[in-house]
Structure 1
Amino acid sequence: MTKRLQSKYKINRRLGQNLWGRPKSPVNRREHGPGQHGQRRRKPSDYGVQLAAKQQLRFYYGNITERQFKNIYQEAVRRRGDTSENLIGLLERRLDAVVYRLKFVPTVFAARQFVNHGHIRVNGKRVNIPSYRVQEGDKISIKDASKQLVIVLEALDSPERDIPEYLELDTSKMEGTFLRTPQLSDVPYPVRMEPNLVVEYYSR
């Protein structure tokens, strides 16, 4: 088992939730936290609830750094409209998140690596930056030499996830289109996300 996989499962157990909805998550079998004796769970404070909501959302997108996450939040604040909805929209426009949603790979961690290794094209051009911000109408595809990779074929055939309505996939071309920026209610999170608590956390 890789260190990354171990860390991912530890995150699930620490949060007490199957964050990515994977059938092999240890949370499905063990409810206690990581460690030999688990963790005693006490009623969290308001700060603890807000922190947990922030960590849950940050971890979901491949455990992006705190600095990156805070920068995304600050941009969400600067934009017009509801800050929590803006935050979700910006996170879902990350290239690695879009690659994951299109089912080109099985996990968001794999999506980051897939983009880093140059397997993805945006409007026909190679993009290897996971945080690249996709625009409405952009075409996201897999380069020809990577279309027969086992990880890609297995992910596309997997019944674990459905492709959300704000994306469109042409399976024959292995090309997706980012139709629109989603709202919170559009995003198929396996667990409840509360970006409003994230806003409260950073507004303290």
Structure 2
Amino acid sequence: MSHRTKFKMQRALGLELPGLGKPGALDTRSYPPGQHGQSKNKKLSEFGSQLREKQKLLFHYGLREEQLRRFVRDARTLQQSNWIESLVGLLERRLDNVVFRLGFARSIASARQLVNHGHVMVNGRILTIGSAVLRLGDFIKLTAYASDMKATIESRQSPRLTLPSYLQFATDGATDHGVLRMLPNSQHVPFEFDPRPVAEYYAKQGV
């Protein structure tokens, strides 16, 4: 996905999504793309609001609709009463997202590439599935080769986001080691997000 496409997506939503990488999407054009983009925004319908919040998840985490639906079904299995919190927890615990949130990569797409190419280890073993959901206590690190890559060094020196409270660096002091210390929830989503419309959308869809 090109930077231009990423910027258009964020302008359409009216906010920056850190998972897409390079910041500045709203610096020069904070209004939506298109010939009517600069006109006063109309109030979104209930359905429009539901789609908007769902799109934030799709774009930020780099998911397809069917992938998100699968996570919704898994979240419902884990917790019927408040499954939306379980959903966010599952998305935040995806390996590609954790690699990004640890500051090893500048975007979730870049983090996914690191994982796919065998540059990330979980509990001492290489794991190449970006969608794998981590568990409490899992230990995440880059391989020695990846630790010396220019891209990962620059990312660690200037991470896209601050470290979330559900992660911590290992006690050995090495910045390329991290531990999942608690289960994340909607408070850990790194952008303005209202989980209620998403829950309403999938409830109506019967997912």
Shared topology, TM-score over 0.5? yes
Give the match for residue 19 of structure 1: 17
Range with greater deviation from structure 2 (194-203 or 173-182): 173-182
Task: Tell me what 1:55 maps to.
Answer: 55
In the aligned structure 2, how far is the partner of 1:61 from the partner of 1:194? 16
Measured in 2, the distance between the counterparts of 1:152 and 1:50 equals 36
- Give the unaligned 5+ runs of structure 1: none
Contact kept, 8 Å, 1:16 with 1:33, in 2: the verdict is yes
Per-residue displacement from partner, 1:42-94 (whole Å, max 9, x unpaired)? 322100001101111221112x1100001101111122251111111110110
**How far off is 1:33 after superposition?**
1.9
Separation in structure 2 between the aligned mates of residue 26 and residue 59 of structure 1, nearest angstrom = 14
3-state SS of 2:10 partner: helix
Structure 2 Cα separation of the partners of residues 82 and 28 of structure 1: 36
Give the letter aligned to residue 66 of structure 1: E
- 3-state SS in 2 of match to 1:121: strand
Alignment RMSD, CA only? 1.9
- Listed as ranges, the matches of 1:1-204 within 5 Å are 3-20=1-18, 24-35=23-34, 37-39=35-37, 41-62=41-62, 64-80=63-79, 81-158=81-158, 160-170=160-170, 172=174, 174-185=176-187, 187=188, 189=190, 191-204=191-204
Would you say how many aligned residue pairs link Structure 1 and Structure 2?
198
Stretch moving more, 94-103 or 109-118: 109-118
Letter in 2 for 1:142: L
DSSP 3-state at the match of 2:49: helix
Write the distance in 1 (CA, Å) between the matches of 2:115 and 2:22.
Answer: 25
For 1:193, what is the secondary structure of its paired residue?
A: coil
Q: CA deviation at 1:188?
A: 5.1
Q: TM-score scaled to structure 1, two decimals? A: 0.89
TM-score (norm 2): 0.88
Deviations 1:159-194 (A, max 9, x none): 642111211113526111111211222x151x2111
5+ unaligned residues in a row in structure 2: which ranges?
A: none
Label 1:38 to 1:24 Cα distance change in 2 as closer, same or farther (>3 A). farther
> Percent of aligned pairs with the same residue?
34
